[in-house]
Structure 1
Amino acid sequence: MTVVELQSDRSTGERLPGWAYMLGLFFLLVIVDGALRKWVLPSQETLLFLVKDVVLWGGYVWYAAKRNPLELPRPLYATWVPFLLAVYLFVVVAQAFNIRQPSLLVSALGLKAHLAFLPVVVLLPALMVRVSERAITRFLWGYALLVSVPIVLLSIYQFSQPRTAWINRYVNPEASVARVGQFPRITGTFPYIGSFAPYLRFNAVLGASMVLGGLKWKRKSITALGAIVLGGTAIILPMTGSRSPVVIILIELVVLLFVMRGKGTGGLFLGLALVGGVIASIGLDNSILLRAWEALAQRAQGGMGEAYRRIMVRLSAPIEGLEEAGLFGYGVGSNHQVAPTFVGGATWEGWIGGDNKILRVFAELGALGWLILMALKIALLYVATQAVRRSRSAVEFILSATALCVLVGNVLRPVVYNVVSGALYWGAVGVMLGVWSLQRIPSGSSFASPLSRPTS
């Protein structure tokens, strides 16, 4: 990888390049992909599934036409991130040619799963130096009012409808709609519950970061906006019927508050959250919205033993993976959920299947590859922690804090088998690396970060 000078890309108020709009379209498609495949053009769902990849890589090629496509901001080369990222890329490509691979098509599938979203790690830092705090604030308002709130309203409507209603179908129309209590487990604009859950986790920590950033920098409008996003997410989160997102969000926020220790806003945030929860429980008494939390609580109480077993199985996955796959694994894609369709439905040596994604990734990469991936994730976490602590404005804090939470929630959880998780994870990485790099420019410099400049 080569070096890019941040100063050469300093925000000038010029129109954003075309690749930036394609990048935005990519993330929009990640969110609405399921709606298009379920309700708009279900007969073309496979083609629609690939559209977002074409858009992202089209934007990347556009960017590469004028810039080195492997550039990263200069300050990052003082960290281990570029080296570990390069080694991870090398390992994934090498594993595509693992002699134990069942098929070249499976290798291609593995390359897509592991690398398809990595262009955002290059594109987002390049975009960050072109935008101002005012522009990002407007974007957050637009996102909240035009994307987040409509998804909340759609989700409430889904929850109020029968499981057999068209609005509750999955991408696979033959799949039976799961339920929580007597209600359907909703999917919003996403194809399945497993895709909706990571989006809700992202939305929750984005809302919390906006509240915290608004409180610290006394930006009342941002605090209110964050309350809207966080409150709406809290309403629909239990409607998915998934227990793990609630636990993961709490862990992410605890880590964020620990990183923020001494900032003086953590206690106020917790107090406001508690008061808000009490008021909501009173105001929503006996409503369908409160019954979603009651149904989730009943499901959680009835499955404590199973939940504990699943946690222990996942924590022991590296040990089992070492015994199963050894140092070098079976190759990328060899444990992808759709890999058997590329070899006539057959299985092969090294096929594990099941829902233990940690074990499946370990089997693909082997012990060496898995350790490299973990080292990369830990290095990114360290940089994200620095970005949070060095934040000089509400916007810098919102971006870096949200990214930190996303990274914490996926430090052990693989993102290669879930499109939404992968897009949000690498997107968070790209934004965080951009913010961190801009923070390295002294505040008094004429090239200081446009994100830390006060708005008028």
Structure 2
Amino acid sequence: MPVTKHVRYIQRFIWLYFWLLIFEGVLRKWLLPGLSVPLLIVRDPVLLLAYFYAFRCQLLPDNRFTRSTLALALLSFPAGLVATVYTDFSNISVVLFGLRTNFLHLPLIFLIPKVFDRTDVLRFGRVVLLLALPMALLMAAQFAVGPEAFLNRGAGEDASQIISVFGRIRPAGTFSFVNGTSLFFALSTAFLLYGFLQPGVYSRPLLTAAGFALPIALAVSGSRSTILGVALVFAAMFVGLLLQPRLARGAVRVALFIGFAGLSLSFLPTFNEALNVTTTRLELASTAEGGLAQRFIGSYQDTFNGLLSVPLLGYGLGMGTNAGAALLGLKGRFLLAEAEWPRVVRESGPILGFGYILLRLAIAVWMGKLALRCVSTGNLLPLLLFAACGLNIISGQFGQPTSLGFAVFGGGLCLAAMRVPVVLESYESSAGRQLSTR
């Protein structure tokens, strides 16, 4: 079978991975709620098939990051099995899920740029922008109806969404939980801003629809994470403007349009109500939990709380995930920690845990450097995409499948947008070499 046919198969599987990422919540909430737990890994067979064909045509990523991922996986699995001996709860099924959570999907970051380039990334962007307005309108409908409505079902039978304030929920759109809409609109914002900064890439009607979707989604979200994700992408745009002042005219178009969209929507009573609910929710959250910065820093500081009492090999790989808790008959609980870094360290112990954290940090730092370098050549898209996924790669909750999916898929798009499908091989041969283009 020709190599080109293998590549087409890989591309199709990655597209299927994307569609399942967007709509797996529909399956888990509305169509097949009784199969909600098995559907947590619905993307895994698709991913494995992509890896299989990548192996067949010698495109399986082989670089310092994937080798480190494999080495940590090979060490973490037996360590997790040993931990089951002295941990009352942990078992081999939980360890296997933890192995899958931490390691299986990471190589996809480096496979995507081997089979896609910047043109393909822009196609993904067009689809994301097409989905933005329907997603925002679905969120608005979920906001308008009560918590017990069919639209606001959670993943699984008799599950519901998180309450915001005034009896309203935090809309999850097509996703299982609200974090999906947060990550989706960060990605949508990256393509939206790029479309305004580079006229002609996307049509005006498409940008207009997606531009109106953004303030609607922010207003009804009731989520600080959604606001933070969008804000990071805007911050990346301003960094790009500092490095490429010629893009200032596009930034003015962005500001004028967002202002116009916000002003137009302010005449709608529902939009104003949603804005009031979200503002109140943010104020109450700041009072009860501290400001966003305090909560953000606190999630990292918690990594070191009680560190000396954590066993050398941890309490058991996978135990800190919600799915791991469900496998142990303790559904809906965080057994070790809610934040990602504390979970990783308490699951795998200080040595393997911090090794895994450093791996994710190294991937993000390296990717960020390449994205910044691309700005100097006039390509701002990688930096915008990195802003949408970088923090998620560093400390996103990989135990939550949607968070994991957006981290690796967004990272892959970021590298593919650099128009260098073999960027890692170039990096391996000369770490300091100037990033080349296709």
TM more than 0.5: yes
Structure 1's 270 and 431: CA in aligned 2 closer, same or farther, altered over 3 A?
closer
Structure 2: any 5+ residue segments left out of the alignment?
427-435
Matches within 5 A, 1:187-202: 187-202=172-187
1:304 aligns with 2:303: no
Residue 15 (structure 1) shift? 9.3
Distance 1:194 1:202 in 2: 13
| Aligned-residue CA RMSD (Å) | 3.5
How far did 1:319 drift?
A: 1.6
1:22 aligns with 2:10: no
Q: CA separation in 1, counterparts of 2:300 and 2:351?
A: 18
Give the total of aligned pairs. Answer: 414
Within the alignment, does 1:106 sit opposite 2:89 as a pair?
no
Please show how residues 53-92 of structure 1 align to structure 2 within 5 Å.
53-67=44-58, 69=60, 71-72=61-62, 81-82=65-66, 84-92=68-76
Q: 2:169 aligns with which of 184, 190, 195?
A: 184
Percent identity, aligned pairs only, is: 18
Q: CA deviation at 1:333?
A: 0.7
**Closer/same/farther in 2, CA of residues 324 and 263 from structure 1, 3 Å limit:** farther
Task: Work out which of the residue numbers 102, 122, 125 in structure 1 matches 2:113.
Answer: 125
Counterpart of 2:353? 370
| Cα pair 1:106 1:339 within 8 Å, conserved | yes
Counterpart check, 1:234 vs 2:222: no
Structure 1: where are the runs of 5+ without partners?
1-7, 442-447, 451-456
Residue of structure 1 equivalent to 2:134: 150
1:317 match: 302
Does residue 426 (structure 1) correspond to residue 408 (structure 2)? The answer is yes
> Which of 188, 192, 195 pairs up with 1:203?
188
Residue 397 (structure 2) pairs with residue 415 (structure 1) = yes
User: For residues 290-335 of structure 1, what are the alpha-carbon distances to aligned partners after superposition, in whole Å with 9 as ceiling and x for unaligned?
Assistant: 3322211111122313232644531321221523425542232121
Is the CA contact (8 Å cut-off) linking 1:326 and 1:366 kept in structure 2? Answer: yes
For 1:302 and 1:57, the matched residues in 2 are separated by 44
Paired residues of 2:154 and 2:176 also in contact (CA < 8 A): yes
2:327 paired residue number: 342
Aligned equivalents of 1:419 and 1:169: distance in 2? Answer: 18
Deviation at residue 179 of structure 1 after TM alignment:
3.9
1:201, CA displacement in angstroms? 2.7
What letter corresponds to residue 358 of structure 1 in structure 2? W
Q: Would you say the 8 A contact 2:265–2:271 is kept in 1?
A: yes
Three-state SS of the structure 2 residue aligned to 1:331 is coil
Shift, 1:103, TM fit: 1.3
Alpha-carbon contact 2:315-2:348 (below 8 Å) kept: yes
Letter in 2 for 1:191: S
Among residues 377, 395, 404, which one is paired with 2:386 in the alignment?
Answer: 404
- Paired residue type of 1:167: L
Counterpart in the other structure of 1:3: none
CA contact (8 A) 1:415 1:425 kept: no
Pick aligned residue for 1:357 from 335, 340, 351: 340
Residue 410 of structure 1, CA deviation: 2.4
Cα distance in 2 for residues equivalent to 1:164 and 1:344:
25
Match of 1:279 in 2: 260
Contact 2:211 2:258 in 1 (8 A): no
CA contact (8 A) 1:402 1:428 kept: no
Matched AA of 1:158: Q
Q: Distance in 1 between matches of 2:245 and 2:321?
A: 45
Matched to 2:24, the amino acid is D
Distance change in 2, residues 1:259/1:86 (3 Å): farther
CA distance in 1 between counterparts of 2:57 and 2:202 reads: 38
Give 1:39's aligned amino acid: W
CA contact (8 A) 1:168 1:186 kept: yes
The corresponding residue for 1:4 is: none
8 Å CA contact 1:358–1:412 kept in 2: the answer is no
> Aligned with 1:237: secondary structure?
helix
CA distance in 2, matches of 1:384, 1:52: 24
Return the letter of the residue paired with 1:185: R
CA displacement at 1:155 relative to structure 2:
2.1
* Residue 258 of structure 1: how far off its partner (Å): 2.8
Q: Which amino acid aligns with 1:57?
A: L
What CA deviation, in whole Å up to 9, does each residue of 1:339-361 have, x standing for no partner?
A: 23434549xxxx84453333222
Q: Structure 2: how far apart are the matches of 1:86 and 1:180?
A: 44
Deviations 1:371-409 (A, max 9, x none): 3233323332333233323438999532x1243213432
Using the size of structure 1 for normalisation, the TM-score is: 0.78
Q: TM-score, normalised by structure 2?
A: 0.80
d(CA) in 2 for partners of 1:364 and 1:26? Answer: 28
What letter corresponds to residue 318 of structure 2 in structure 1? G
Contact persistence 1:252–1:409 (CA under 8 A): no
